[in-house]
Copies of this chain bind each other. A is one copy, B any other.
């Protein structure tokens, strides 16, 4: 029994370990086109921030460690095509091209950064964050003292994390965002908090600014003017790497990523997919979603590996939880956002509240802003967003748990949550948000 895994980052290596645990006798071959496997890509900004850290400390397990577990990890091996009829993959390596047979195949090809068609985007000095090697190059340039000014094209959450990282290294940073505000997937009230935090740390923010070109001196010409730079980072989103799967006849879903069932099976027999190349079932929307994140990739990889080894495990789905930090501000969301709601033709109530993060008069207490999306007829929570200088990520987890349990805002208002001055005020911002939403709902129903 040979199980071949294409891609060796989060999903691929989780799958490999799971196969090994379940079927010690299986031959497991991981084909990774890059130079590293099993690294925490999400940790890249925080690694760049600290000159003392080696980029390779993001590697959770080395190929040698996997090999010691009996997993055959091959770096710089690119899979060119899949032949599902003959059950083999065509592999290219420096040594040549050959075919490798599989009994079960797991596609974990990940995602790639979008590169917009900007003139000059391919110049040296313009970077994207595709993998650890890209991060290593940026870190090397900073260490070499070459970077006094950086432009980040794209105001998404990775752009925010990178703005912090570069600023912490003493670099003058400008964020250029095509849309009207940063982190556009969040409500304006949340975007404003993020923008204010960027401005507080002297990050320049140019919104409504599309990039026309990047010239030889690396000056970035936008619809709002020109910004000089020594380093340009393009971070405008990712797309799933599906060419290999699509060309093999594996069905893609409505989002453009690989369609999978709850056992991570694709449309082809004995072929599984997991991670940033695949869809996940969104439990609140009750439809397939494409929200590539490391945590989902790990969980999907585990289920794909288990089932490739003959088990019947299930990845139940996601509720769209995501969080990031920028300087001292934490930001999180879960469930449906405005775009999801509009796409689905829903008419949910949007309720905004702000409340202290800690007890009365406790030092370091700061306002947290919460946006809730609530189904009007039932009062059921369908989405939550939060931002502020305090614990937001794990508060979003409470809302995520409430989504899993189909709770209404009344249910949430009745939760018995922790109170201690250093941890939370008497009424946690979660309870305040639910209470405000309930009252907003009552008001909307009355008139």
Q: Given the complex, which residues of B lie within 8 Å of A405, measured CB to CB? A: 401-402, 404-405, 407
Docked Cα-Cα span, A53 to B360, in Å, equals 13
Cβ of A317: which chain B residues have Cβ within 8 Å of it? 416
Stretch at the interface among A177-185, A266-274, A344-352, A417-425: A417-425
Question: Is A394 located at the chain interface by the 8 A CB criterion?
Answer: yes
Assess the A359–B401 pair: CB atoms within 8 A.
no
Query: Would you mind naming 29 contact pairs between A and B with Cβ atoms under 8 Å apart?
Result: A40-B421, A43-B359, A43-B362, A294-B419, A295-B426, A316-B414, A317-B416, A318-B416, A321-B418, A322-B418, A322-B419, A322-B420, A323-B419, A323-B420, A324-B423, A325-B420, A325-B423, A393-B424, A394-B394, A394-B397, A394-B423, A394-B424, A395-B397, A397-B417, A400-B416, A400-B418, A402-B405, A404-B411, A404-B416
Question: Cβ of B334 and Cβ of A416 under 8 Å apart?
Answer: yes
C-alpha spacing A317/B317, complex, angstroms: 31
Which chain A residues have a beta carbon within 8 Å of chain B's beta carbons?
A: 10, 40, 42-43, 46-47, 50, 53, 57-58, 60, 283, 293-296, 298, 316-325, 330, 332, 334, 359-363, 391-398, 400-402, 404-405, 407, 411, 414-424, 426-428, 430
Q: A43-B361, A401-B398, A405-B401 are in contact. Are A393 and B423 (CB under 8 A)?
A: yes
Which residue of chain B has the shortest Cβ distance to A393 in the bound complex?
A: B423
- Given A323-B423, A427-B295, the answer on whether A40 and B361 have CB atoms closer than 8 Å is yes
Other CB < 8 Å A-B pairs besides A42-B421, A295-B416, 16 of them?
Answer: A42-B419, A43-B362, A46-B359, A60-B360, A283-B416, A322-B420, A324-B423, A334-B416, A391-B393, A397-B428, A398-B401, A400-B416, A400-B417, A401-B401, A404-B411, A404-B415
Kindly report how many copies of this chain are found in the complex they form together: 2
The answer for the CA separation of A43 and B361 in the assembled complex, in Å, is 8
Asked if residues B361 and A421 are in contact (CB atoms below 8 Å), the reply is: no
Looking at the complex, which one of B323, B334, B398, B418 makes contact with A323 (CB distance below 8 Å)? B418
Q: How far is the CA of A295 from the CA of B423 in the complex (A)?
A: 13
Cβ of A407: which chain B residues have Cβ within 8 Å of it? 401, 404-405
Inter-subunit contact A359/B415 (CB<8 Å): no
Structural contact, B40 and A426, CB atoms closer than 8 A: yes
The 3 closest A-B pairs by CB, nearest first: A393-B423, A405-B405, A323-B418
In the complex the two chains form, is B397's CB within 8 Å of A359's CB?
no
Assess the B421–A321 pair: CB atoms within 8 A: no
Kindly state the separation between the CA atoms of A57 and B363 in the bound complex, as whole angstroms: 12
A53 touches B361 (CB 8 A): yes
Cα A422 to Cα B390 with chains together (Å): 12
Given A391-B391, A397-B398, A398-B398, A418:B332 Cβ within 8 A? yes
